[in-house]
Amino acid sequence: MRYAHEVGKVRAAERALMARLPEGALMQRAAAGLAAVCARLLPALYGADVVLLVGGGDNGGDALYAGARLARRGARVTAVPASPRIHRAGLGALRAAGGRVLGQAPPEEEAAGAVAGADLIIDGLTGIGGTGALREPHATLARLASEAPGTVVACDVPSGVDAGSGRVDGPAVRADVTVTFGTHKPGLLIDPGAAYCGVVELVDIGLGPDLPDPDVVAARPEDVRPPEPGPESDKYRRGVVGIIAGGERFTGAAVLAAGGAVHGGAGMVRFASAPHAVELVRQRWPEAVTTVIEPKPDALERIGRVQAWVVGPGLGTDRDGETLVEAVLGTDLPVLVDADGLTVLARRRDLLRRTAPTLLTPHAGELARLIGADRDAIEAARLDHVRRAAAELSATVLLKGSTTLVAEEDRPVRVNPTGTPRLATAGTGDVLSGLVGALLAGGLPALDAAASGAYLHGLAARIAAAGGPPAPGREPGERSGEAPISAYDVITALPAAFRAVW
């Protein structure tokens, strides 16, 4: 796992560590790590042009000390101050090492010339305490850095990105590499901020013993590995998932949800719905056991034994759909509710009063209806709202989006790192529902099933878009030239995604 801590906790850990170290030692550790990463990024350090964008905080000091280290190794280092109050000791170290400093708040033309000619630019404009939109001249310098041809390295967090949430309220530095210190910060993992970070390099500065439990975690492949079938496995041990989806009007969601479960490792898929939806699922997925049901309180009695339920995709939001959602949530089994089922819950939150695990998979609009919030506000502060929803609804909440978040009350929020814009197409959410339902039926706790399912779902989309799995040694998504995909393409790529993590 990659662990991330809120800014206040990072600050507290830094203070505790500094109290045990000589003055300035912690900044020197950060600067040493930053300089080492920068040196690796340059084909040749001697004679390379390095520009430091320096603000008035500690990140500016980190950049100055790192620049001094690079200058002593032969780089031509120029500091561009964005504030009249920059770190004095760091400034002295840079000058002593032969670095050059432009005048305080230099004219834009002078700063632009320095940035445009740099082989490498270190962004030390703001730090993890920065919030809101960048002010001038920071905003202009951030724009110049983002447009420059040289490699851009952000110090701790790209300036303009809120380290605690990933929020971006105006111009921000688009980094090729972000060197972060001690621990990840949530804003480095959550879009839109994550999209500004490039590759994130974590430098250990000794905070570990002073850090509490993480607030946010992002999975690596080994963290999302679903159970593999063993010699004693049978279809019941692997998990039987029941799916109630679709109807006479909306049938595609039924077929896609069933397909996600069939290819998601379920030992058996029991599908129940109106006659037309059942016929289509039977034709496309003959391995599914299908049942025609009517929207009555006792509808589940004819379906057979299952170990988890999925309800909602394409179900409709009228009284008939509500009856089926109520019947499923009245069981003592784990239940995943998606799509139309979430709309039903927005007006029947009383149905969430249950003791068995409940997993909700909304997008921002559906979550807005569930908790009475504004959709734009949710998109702007996804981390805060997914935590609020998990606590308020007493459920596990998977908030879909460019960065999918999974929350349970009093647990670190899980961030999915495999998301891709290719998933922004109709039906992919239905596939996710079936996949996660299969993992629930296989015995994974709701938080783990949701996080693993989101990871595999995103990885399958990337594999489908790229025409195959990543080469050995490459992270999922390190590829170019991806093609458009459909929801069905995600289903067919799920086996390759499973193989990539097993």
Q: Encode 376-407 in three state secondary structure.
A: HHHHHCHHHHHHHHHHHHCCEEEECCCCCEEE
Q: Which CATH entry fits the domain spanning 2-218: 3.40.50.10260, 3.40.50.12280, 3.40.640.10, 3.30.70.3040?
A: 3.40.50.10260
- Bond preceding residue 334 cis, omega within 30 of 0: no
Identify the DSSP state of 29: H
pLDDT computed for residue 234 by the predictor: 66
pLDDT computed for residue 477 by the predictor: 47
Give the integer Cα–Cα distance in Å for 6 and 199. 20
Rounded to a whole number of angstroms, the CA Rg of the chain reads 26
Give the C-alpha distances (Å, rounded to integers) separating 231 from 238, 262, 425, 440. 12, 20, 38, 21
183 annotated as a binding-site residue: no
193 annotated as a binding-site residue: no
Give the integer Cα–Cα distance in Å for 136 and 369. 38
User: What CATH topology corresponds to 233-468+482-501?
Assistant: UDP-N-acetylmuramoyl-L-alanine:D-glutamate ligase (3.40.1190)
131 annotated as a binding-site residue: yes
pLDDT digit string (tens) for the chain, length 502 residues:
999 999 999 999 999 999 999 999 999 999 999 999 999 999 999 999 999 999 999 999 999 999 999 999 999 999 999 988 899 999 999 999 999 999 866 778 899 999 999 999 999 999 999 889 999 999 999 999 999 999 999 999 999 999 999 999 999 999 999 999 999 999 999 999 999 999 999 999 999 999 999 999 998 888 888 777 776 666 777 899 999 999 888 899 999 999 999 999 999 999 999 999 999 999 999 999 999 999 999 999 999 999 999 999 999 999 999 999 999 999 999 999 999 999 999 999 999 999 999 999 999 999 999 999 999 999 988 999 999 999 999 999 999 998 999 999 999 999 999 999 999 999 999 999 999 999 999 999 999 999 999 999 999 999 999 986 655 545 544 444 578 899 999 999 999 999 999 8
Give the integer Cα–Cα distance in Å for 216 and 487. 29
363 annotated as a binding-site residue: yes
146 annotated as a binding-site residue: no
130 annotated as a binding-site residue: yes
61 annotated as a binding-site residue: yes
156 annotated as a binding-site residue: yes
Residues of the chain with CATH 3.40.50.10260: 2-218
Angle between helices 487-501 and 428-441 (to 10 degrees): 40
Contact criterion met (CB below 8 Å) for 392 and 371: yes
Give the integer Cα–Cα distance in Å for 497 and 461. 9
Contact criterion met (CB below 8 Å) for 37 and 153: yes
- Tokens standing for residue 446: 């709701």
235 annotated as a binding-site residue: no
290 annotated as a binding-site residue: no
- Tokens standing for residue 197: 């970070």
- 290 backbone dihedrals φ, ψ, rounded to 5°: -110, 150
129 annotated as a binding-site residue: yes
9 annotated as a binding-site residue: no
Give the C-alpha distances (Å, rounded to integers) separating 125 from 24, 153, 174, 180, 379. 19, 12, 13, 14, 26
Identify the DSSP state of 184: B
127 annotated as a binding-site residue: yes
Residues of the chain with CATH 3.40.1190.20: 233-468+482-501
